[in-house]
Amino acid sequence: MSQDLIVGIAGANGDGVSRRTVLKLVAVVALGAAVGVGASAGITHWGRTAPPPYRFFSEAEAKLLIAICEQIIPRDDTSGATDAGVIYYIDRQISGPLARHQQSYRLGLASFRKTCLQVYKTPFEELAFEQQTDALRLIEEGNAPNDLWGDPSQKAFFDLVLDHTRQGFYGSPRHGGNRDYASYRMLGLAYPNLIGQNRYANGRPI
Amino acid sequence: MSFPKVNAVIVGAGAGGGIVAKELALAGLSVVLLERGDWARYDEHNDDELQSQRTPALGNPFGPDDRRHRRVFVYPNGSTRIVLPSEGAYSNNAGCIGGGTVSYGAMAWRFMPQDFRLRSTYGEVKDSTLEDWPISYDDLEPFYEKAEYEIGVAGDYTNNPFCGPRKKPFPMPAFPYNKEGRRIVETATRMGLHPFPIPMLRNSVPYNGRPACIHMRSCVGFACPVNAKAGTHNTVLPIALATGNCQLRTGCVAAEIIVDDRGHARGVRYFDSDNRAQEQPADLVMISASATETARLLLNSKSKLFPNGAGNNNDWVGHNLQGHCYVGAFGLIEEEVYEEAGPGATVGISDFNHGNPGLVGGGMLANEFIDLPYRFCDVRPPGEPRWGKAHKDFQRRYYKHVVRLIGPVQEIPNFSARVSVDPAVKDAWGIPVCRLSGTRHPYDLQGGEFLSKKAEAIIKETGATRVWRNGPSLWLSGGQHQAGTCRMGNDPKTSVTNRFGQVHQIDNLFIADGSLHVTNGGFNPVLTIMALAYWVSDYIKTGWKGSKFR
Amino acid sequence: MTVTRRFKLVCAAGLFTSVFLLACGAGSLAWFHFGNPTNTCASCHEMTGVHSAWSASSHRTLHCRNCHGGSLTLDVHALRSHVNRVVQHFRRSPDQPIRLTEKHVLALQEACRACHPQSFADWQSSRHSATYARIFLDITHNRTEQLAADCLRCHGMFFGGNIEDLVKPISTTGPWALNDAAKASQPAIPCLACHQVHTPAAGFQSAHLYVRREQASFSADLLPITPITQGDHPVKVSPDPRQRLCTQCHAPNAFRQLGSADDRTPSGVHEGLSCLDCHSSHSNSAKASCAACHPSNSHCGLDVEKMDTSFRSTGSKHNIHFVACGDCHNGQRPAKGK
């Protein structure tokens, strides 16, 4: 019965499978393989995208935020916020556990940009370092034009970025910031924390 | 679905519930222990400052999670905000097996005899609900001792003349002072004070099959990687489970205590780990869910005889929320006093807990647990810049050069500081959430000023070059030291339970956690919560008659 | 058309279709297996970081599949995780960090062995090749100290669970058993504990510490030199980056006292030497290493090769980790060698 079926399916009329059937099968296999290879190549080709550098921020937003964070923890003889990858910390966390702050960043950064353009006639990133410091102090103290700020207020926005910059700089590297334990090295703290196992003498650790 | 009836259902496997579960299970009662969290996982959070129970920037590592829980916080100006568990205003403790005892700093203080009779020692304080406890230090002493031996405390009170009488010494020798501690001991002794090693729920030598402390810098806020820190999760709970009488159900969120029309507790309605509604009938119901959550559960349990919540016919449930206003002083010092060996807090001073001229109560002072770098960003003298090169310079220059003395002020109970349930906001299971409102009693400002000045005087004497105080605030208390919301008392009109934690008018409903505290001492409260749990359990065990209580 | 004929036709169509689909699949897998990584795995931006590190590394002549397995050799778990990654890619979900499971770390050992047979054999002869059974079922240890999560920091650092998932019971009474019997013979400190493969060849740059709690490898260059003190006196510690790696597990206690816990920092006359000055990096053997610095005899005429210099011989006054001048010379100037 099963023999019959196979023969029947293969379209053979007599004994065995005809050469035509074998050829057909080979053709189908070849075609299939070609389609498989082609499709994979196509997928990998069309799927190829420039790596989006950030999950949440646009490149312009990130550029501004990087400049703000670098003001908060600037580079001197040791790493600053940029070196430590603070932007990646913030970007990753507000795409995750801190998602509730997304709107504050989007609106806050927009207000921040407008503030600098209005007060200094120049984008923040292009100001000299000292001028950036002044601009940031203005916002920290809530002294920038208030009509450019809604929710978050300028003070609230500053406090948010300050807190997240500290987290990114001092937190565990696995969250995206504190690259190569930059801040721990700065403070002379052992990293990763190492402690040998207990050894005992007469039941007491030595 | 309803489970077969058991002798006792306990809500909350923390400091209180863990002990009650063990005591009752060992006495032969069938016990179901409901816990909203799960076993804490060490691996996911160790030494990660952003996932510490102290600085939960990325969520509470030991629960509860930000996804399903919320509370409503009422600001002094009347405005409200929905707050998440990882935010300070939520007043979180923990949500895992062992509760706060997994990640606490593990200071093991007994309250002093005066702490139990504050009202009769000092008299009335205006606009407060200051009252004596219905039990005394002597009543609780054997149970303090039991907690010290069963959970395990290392300490030495040779140099502490202020503590209440003890029958037995500590089961383990005290920990040595660290550099900062030695500096403070030397200074305080010179000033005529009585510094001594802080008693700790932590193994200084191998004890009860668990190893000695390895001195992690990341201790408070974290689980112990070698189980040297003792909590209910690694001491009494394993014993409870080994009896075979105790069934632990994790991921279970209690919604309501079922109270029948005759005023008898019938069991607990809860949601299991698959969010299915369940009922656990029991002869006896024990609530050990922390001062905020216990109050919420009682208030959410409305019945014919208790239309305003279980045990709340006199409107005392949820009131008198207390915690501790921490005050103290910091100083910058030339010597490098930082030690990589944790946890940091080694020396205590109890000179200012009582007997302060013109002051009701007082508080203990101790040096502080190691501040990891993120938290250290806020250790600053007033006026110090928060950012820029100045911030970096301060971190580098002083991270290892700070001496601290801080302590919890004995708070004066305030009726308006309270937990209620919000009329509108619900959690992920549809259960009305805690609404926190009110402030500390204004008298706490006086206590806080006093204690922080005492700390300042000592820090100045250590040779610190720049000294500043952290003063008190009126901000609503609670947090990890939360207490007072279901106070015990002899008068049912002004208390929620009797002296044995038994809710007035509901004979088979008990409470064993910080909610019972009439006042919260000038010390970390956990050992008192543990002692009370033994005390309440002892009462239940003694009166247990087969399937009934009394 | 008869019913049987129609049935046959349908079956034939089915057969051809399935053959076609199977061929498609095989073709696709073959493309990924044999293709140039830049056109396959690394065409997804999630892989570009890993890929570019590999391109600059000493292992760049090896194809991904040599170590990670190709699509034709991979197991179901890996295939699923790759397919999942592709799905995530097209859904534009945030990329998850790429991690090897312990299974893959162990499979990778075989690839290491193929090219580095001598180093592998040395490692195998050393205590660092100890198995899970040897470490976690050690009765003497387990009776003295309860097993803890912290054990996994240095032993079984790739184990994908908590200590309770590995061995039971967590007590000092035992009897202890591994939950998964297959783990018994697996090495608990595999190559990747101390090596990162995607690194440049120069110097010791493959020397990396795998930090379990970060789930990442950190270059030995970046690790701190642990300060060690003897009483209150600081001990000179070798700056050799490779030693920093050793110290991570052969660590002192939290008070950083010389000789405490697992610390083996040399003091006395050998203060400041690196572990690697005497110990070979893979076998850890220090055999005959004295002669490297002490040609046949020491100053006083004693034969260094005949002394008991072993760290374990705590009673020996020639213990190389501690021996100090005063141990032999009683505070006096030594007599001139003959």
Q: Across residues C89-115, what is the average pLDDT?
A: 81
Q: Contacts of residue B42 in chain C, CB cutoff 8 Å?
A: 149-150, 162-163
Q: Contacts of residue A197 in chain B, CB cutoff 8 Å?
A: 214
The strand pairing partners of B424, in sequence order, are: none
Q: Which residue in chain B is spatially nearest to A187 when comparing CA positions? A: B396
How many CB pairs lie under 8 A apart between chains B and C? 52
Measured between alpha carbons, how far is B215 from B202 in angstroms, rounded to an integer? 10
Q: Does A20 touch chain C (CB under 8 A)?
A: no
Asked if the Cβ–Cβ distance from C254 to A172 is below 8 Å, we say no
Q: Contacts of residue B399 in chain A, CB cutoff 8 Å?
A: 187-189
pLDDT at B381: 97
Query: Which of B205, B211, B374 has the CB atom closest to A166's CB atom?
Result: B374
Chains touching chain B, criterion 3+ CB pairs below 8 Å: A, C
Asked if the Cβ–Cβ distance from C254 to B227 is below 8 Å, we say no
Residue C146 is inside which H or E element, if any?
none
Residue B286 φ/ψ, nearest 5 degrees: -120, 125
Q: Residue A1's pLDDT band (boundaries 50, 70, 90)?
A: very low
pLDDT at B1: 64
Q: Which residue in chain A is spatially nearest to B217 when comparing CA positions? A: A193
Q: Contacts of residue A205 in chain C, CB cutoff 8 Å?
A: 253
Write down the domain spans for chain A: 2-46, 59-187
Query: Which of C31, C224, C263 has the CB atom closest to A40's CB atom?
Result: C31
Q: Across residues C34-46, what is the average pLDDT?
A: 80
pLDDT at C72: 80
Residue A205 φ/ψ, nearest 5 degrees: -65, 140
Q: Contacts of residue C256 in chain B, CB cutoff 8 Å?
A: 340-341
pLDDT in tens, A82-130: 999 999 999 999 998 999 999 999 999 999 999 999 999 999 999 999 9
The 3-state DSSP class for residue C31 equals helix
Residue C148 φ/ψ, nearest 5 degrees: -145, 165
Residues A170, B374 contacting (CB under 8 angstroms): yes
Interface of A with B in 135-154 (CB under 8 A): 136, 140
The per-residue DSSP string of B432-462 comes to EEEEEE----THHHHHHHHHHHHHHHHHHHT
The 3-state DSSP class for residue C67 equals helix
Chains touching chain C, criterion 3+ CB pairs below 8 Å: A, B
pLDDT at C338: 41
Q: Which two tokens stand for residue B14?
A: 């923390």
Asked if the Cβ–Cβ distance from A190 to B211 is below 8 Å, we say no
Q: 3-state SS of chain A: helix, strand, coil percent to 5?
A: 60, 0, 35
B481 vs B31, B94, B466, CA distance in Å?
A: 27, 11, 30
Query: Which of C149, C173, C255 has the CB atom closest to B43's CB atom?
Result: C149
Measured between alpha carbons, how far is B71 from B69 in angstroms, rounded to an integer? 7
pLDDT at C88: 77
The per-residue DSSP string of B91-118 comes to -----STTGGGTTS--B-PPPPGGGG-H
Residues from B contacting C (CB-CB < 8 Å) are 41-43, 46-48, 206, 209-211, 214-217, 225-227, 339-342
Asked if the Cβ–Cβ distance from A36 to C28 is below 8 Å, we say yes
Measured between alpha carbons, how far is C137 from C132 in angstroms, rounded to an integer? 8
Q: Residue C281's pLDDT band (boundaries 50, 70, 90)?
A: confident
Q: Does A128 touch chain B (CB under 8 A)?
A: no
Measured between alpha carbons, how far is B234 from A18 in angstroms, rounded to an integer? 75
Q: Which two tokens stand for residue C130?
A: 């100890």
Cβ neighbours around C141 below 10 Å, total: 16
| Residue pLDDT tens, chain B, 550 long | 679 999 999 999 999 999 999 999 999 999 999 999 999 987 777 789 999 999 999 999 999 999 999 999 999 999 999 999 999 999 999 999 999 999 999 999 999 999 999 999 999 999 999 999 999 999 999 999 999 999 999 999 999 999 999 999 999 999 999 999 999 999 999 999 999 999 999 999 999 999 999 999 999 999 999 999 999 999 999 999 999 999 999 999 999 999 999 999 999 999 999 999 999 999 999 999 999 999 999 999 999 999 999 999 999 999 999 999 999 999 999 999 999 899 999 999 999 999 999 999 999 999 999 999 999 999 999 999 999 999 999 999 999 999 999 999 999 999 999 999 999 999 999 999 999 999 999 999 999 999 999 999 999 999 999 999 999 999 999 999 999 999 999 999 999 999 999 999 999 999 999 999 999 999 999 999 999 999 999 999 999 987 776 5
Evaluate whether residue B1 is within a structural domain: no
Within B357-516, residue ranges assigned H as helices are 373-376, 389-398, 443-461
C331 vs A9, C316, C337, CA distance in Å?
A: 100, 19, 17
User: Closest approach of chain A CAs to the CA of B235, in angstroms?
Assistant: 20
User: Closest approach of chain A CAs to the CA of C202, in angstroms?
Assistant: 20
Evaluate whether residue B217 is within a structural domain: yes
Q: Which residue in chain A is spatially nearest to C11 when comparing CA positions? A: A9
Q: Contacts of residue A98 in chain B, CB cutoff 8 Å?
A: 58
Count of structural domains within chain B: 1
Find the CATH number of the domain harbouring B222: 3.50.50.60
pLDDT at C316: 83
Q: Which residue in chain B is spatially nearest to A96 when comparing CA positions? A: B58
Measured between alpha carbons, how far is C262 from C251 in angstroms, rounded to an integer? 5
Q: Which residue in chain A is spatially nearest to B390 when comparing CA positions? A: A73
Asked if the Cβ–Cβ distance from C254 to B48 is below 8 Å, we say no
Statement: residue A12 has pLDDT above 50: no
The per-residue DSSP string of C120-143 comes to HHHHHHSGGG-BHHHHHT-HHHHH
Statement: residue A6 has pLDDT above 60: no
pLDDT at C291: 81
Residues from C contacting B (CB-CB < 8 Å) are 145-146, 148-150, 152-153, 162-163, 170-173, 212-213, 253-256
Asked if the Cβ–Cβ distance from A28 to C26 is below 8 Å, we say no
Evaluate whether residue B469 is within a structural domain: yes
Q: Does A180 touch chain C (CB under 8 A)?
A: yes
User: Closest approach of chain B CAs to the CA of A93, in angstroms?
Assistant: 8
Measured between alpha carbons, how far is C195 from C208 in angstroms, rounded to an integer? 5
Those residues with Cβ within 8 angstroms of residue C45's Cβ, 6 or more apart along the chain or in another chain: A48, A49, A50, A51, A52, C95
pLDDT at A158: 98
Q: Does A162 touch chain B (CB under 8 A)?
A: yes
Measured between alpha carbons, how far is C72 from B87 in angstroms, rounded to an integer? 50
Residues B306, B313 contacting (CB under 8 angstroms): yes
Q: Does A190 touch chain B (CB under 8 A)?
A: yes
pLDDT at B168: 97
How many CB pairs lie under 8 A apart between chains A and C? 147
Query: Is the sign of the CA dihedral C23, C29, C34, C38 positive or negative?
Result: positive
pLDDT in tens, C165-202: 999 999 999 899 999 999 999 999 999 999 998 887 66
pLDDT at C76: 65
Measured between alpha carbons, how far is C27 from A29 in angstroms, rounded to an integer? 9
Asked if the Cβ–Cβ distance from C260 to A36 is below 8 Å, we say no
Residue of B197, B257, B284 whose CA lies nearest to B5: B284
